């Protein structure tokens, strides 16, 4: 994806899935309460529940390519270290 990018159709299907499946996160009162608690704990305003789908719909092929480039980079191996290992 970082090298070839994403096609318009592939991006449209991904956005359709993310937007269409979003409501399934809120099919019980426990899930609704959990989502609201998560927003509060992370400092995100609850209005994000109303604006999320529009933000996803606005993503362009160029936005996706930029994100892939930033997150995947040139494909070289990345190393993640957890904790505080001695010597680092």
Helix intervals (H) in 1-80 = 8-21, 29-42, 48-57, 61-72
Within-domain flag for 56: yes
The CA distance from 51 to 47, in Å, is: 7
Residues 15, 57 contacting (CB under 8 angstroms): yes
Number of domains in the chain: 1
Which pTM does this prediction carry?
0.72
Within-domain flag for 47: yes
pLDDT, tens digit, 9 for 90 and up, residues 13-39: 999 999 999 988 899 999 999 999 999
pLDDT, tens digit, 9 for 90 and up, residues 25-77: 899 999 999 999 999 999 999 999 999 999 999 999 999 988 888 888 777 77
* 58's tokens: 């606005």
- Dmax (CA) for the chain in angstroms is 48
* 21's tokens: 């499946």
- Structural domain containing residue 18: 8-72
Within-domain flag for 81: no
């Amino acid at each position: 994806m970082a090298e070839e990018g994403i096609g318009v159709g592939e991006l449209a299907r991904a956005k359709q899935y993310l937007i269409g499946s979003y409501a399934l996160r809120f099919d019980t009162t426990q899930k609704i309460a959990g989502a609201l608690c998560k927003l509060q704990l992370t400092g995100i305003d609850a209005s994000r529940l109303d604006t999320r789908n529009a933000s996803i719909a606005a993503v362009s092929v160029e936005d996706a390519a930029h994100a892939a480039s930033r997150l995947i980079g040139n494909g070289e191996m990345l190393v993640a270290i957890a904790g505080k290992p001695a010597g680092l």
